[in-house]
Amino acid sequence: MTLRMTLSALALVVGAAPVLAQEACTSVSLSDVGWTDITSTTSAAKQVLEALGYEVDVQVLGVPVTFEALSSGDIDVFLGNWMPSQTAAIQPFLDEGSIETLGVNLEGTKYNLAVPAYLYDQGLQSYEDMAEFKDALGGEIYGIEPGNEGNTYLISLTEPGGPFEGFTVVESSEQGMLAQVQSAVEEQAPVVFLGWEPHPMNANFPLKYLEGGDDFFGGQGNVYTVTRKGFAADCPNVAKLLTNMTFTLPMENEMMGLILDEGMDPDAAVKQWLTAHPETFDPWLADVTTVDGGDGLAAVKSAMGL
């Protein structure tokens, strides 16, 4: 082989490298922990990624399992890292570098125990007031899915000497908890439960958040997009999209309302909201291409029927 032929062959390989790198990342896996807000944002990411030509696998996993799966590389992306409430669960993985943070996707969240306004007006306004209302509440605090870090924290407060000593944390699901709250509100009965915003519960119920638990729940918080180690380097185009994808409380409340109040399928609800607000796509798709290097914004708008 002549030197000229060798250099020509090398030039072909080098020239093909960006294409090969682009094609190397053609699929993305995401975790959905089953909360309606995360189901909504995950659906938005999935639909945009599919419109760009990626294969997308969404798996429904609990929060602890999600972090383990990210750490082991079995899942690529999670859009539901609520902070500061998930600090204890995720910090070891962040410290060792097996999970990486892309950025904030939502600001100004709330997450804490909540009560109907009529119960708040009766004096249940803080963690310190819980003991006084123990009998009225039947000694029960309503949480969400078993293994959730919020439930785990509340359970720790029921131990001897804790502010919720003698209480039981009832673990079920978001839907099961809200059904219990709905029943209590209809009867104007006492109930205390794990609440958060964004969520239509903030509009559907006369809701007040309790004072306390700041060391775990904090005040206002943020939601972060996190990934397995090396994902941004492996899939820079997807990482750019996910870094661009930020949400607002009104946006998520409206998407979630379509799902929870109108009974829509999550994917259909999210698509309806996005197509009604096409301006959302412009910042999301800035400097983002299709999987084969085409115009990302044009592809997504076309897929959405815009």
Residues present in the chain in total: 306
Q: What is the pLDDT of residues 37-54, one digit of tens each?
A: 999 999 999 999 999 999
Tokens of 69: 């799966």
Per the CATH hierarchy, to which homologous superfamily does domain 27-109+220-303 belong? Answer: Periplasmic binding protein-like II (3.40.190.10)
Query: Does residue 109 carry a pLDDT above 90?
Result: yes
Residues of the chain with CATH 3.40.190.100: 110-209
Average pLDDT over residues 73-101: 96
Average pLDDT over residues 193-221: 90
> What is the reported pLDDT for 232?
98
pLDDT band at 214 (very low <50, low <70, confident <90, very high): confident
Whole-prediction pTM value?
0.79
- What dotted CATH number matches 110-209? 3.40.190.100
Average pLDDT over residues 162-182: 94
Residues of the chain with CATH 3.40.190.10: 27-109+220-303
Query: Does residue 21 carry a pLDDT above 90?
Result: no
Average pLDDT over residues 219-228: 93
Q: What is the pLDDT of residues 111-122, one digit of tens each?
A: 999 999 999 999
Long-range CB pairs of 249-252, under 8 A, 24+ apart, other chains included: 249/106, 249/108, 249/109, 249/197, 249/198, 251/277, 251/280, 252/37, 252/40, 252/41, 252/106, 252/198
SS3 state of residue 96 = helix
| Apex 69 CA angle, 67 and 70, nearest 5 | 65
> What is the reported pLDDT for 149?
85
